[in-house]
């Protein structure tokens, strides 16, 4: 039995991934981006009040990720007093 009342797909313009919008039993919408092998790349982590807001969230991530870069930061461990 599914824990979602409604599910729709989002076009990603990438052959290796697919987006998904899901409405839970509480009426909250969530999104997730999957590799075609079924592994989850990223999910919303929180619920949205409407499908439109969830769609805006995943579209923002997909757009920003294409223009993004990976940054490496060196973190130095501080020793005690």
User: How many residues comprise the chain?
Assistant: 81
Residue 75 has pLDDT above 70, yes or no: yes
What's residue 13's pLDDT? 59
DSSP 3-state of 44 = coil
Residue 80 within any structural domain of the chain: no
In the structure, what pLDDT confidence band is assigned to residue 1 with cuts at 50, 70 and 90? very low
Residue 79 within any structural domain of the chain: no
d(CA 56, CA 39): 22
3 within 8 A of 23, measured Cβ to Cβ = no
Domain around 14: 4-67
Residue 73 within any structural domain of the chain: no
Whose CA is closest to 33, among 54, 13, 17, 14? 17
d(CA 47, CA 69): 27
Residue 52 within any structural domain of the chain: yes
Number of domains in the chain: 1
Residue 74 has pLDDT above 80, yes or no: no
Residue 72 within any structural domain of the chain: no
Q: What does the mean pLDDT of the chain come to? A: 80
């Amino acid at each position: 039995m599914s824990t979602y009342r409604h599910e729709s797909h989002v076009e990603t313009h990438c052959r290796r991934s697919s987006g998904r919008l899901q409405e839970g039993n509480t009426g909250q919408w969530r999104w997730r981006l999957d590799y075609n092998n079924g592994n989850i790349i990223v999910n919303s982590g929180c619920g949205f009040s409407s499908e439109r807001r969830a769609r805006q969230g995943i579209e923002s991530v997909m757009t920003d990720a294409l223009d993004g870069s990976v940054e490496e930061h060196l973190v130095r461990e501080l020793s005690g007093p």
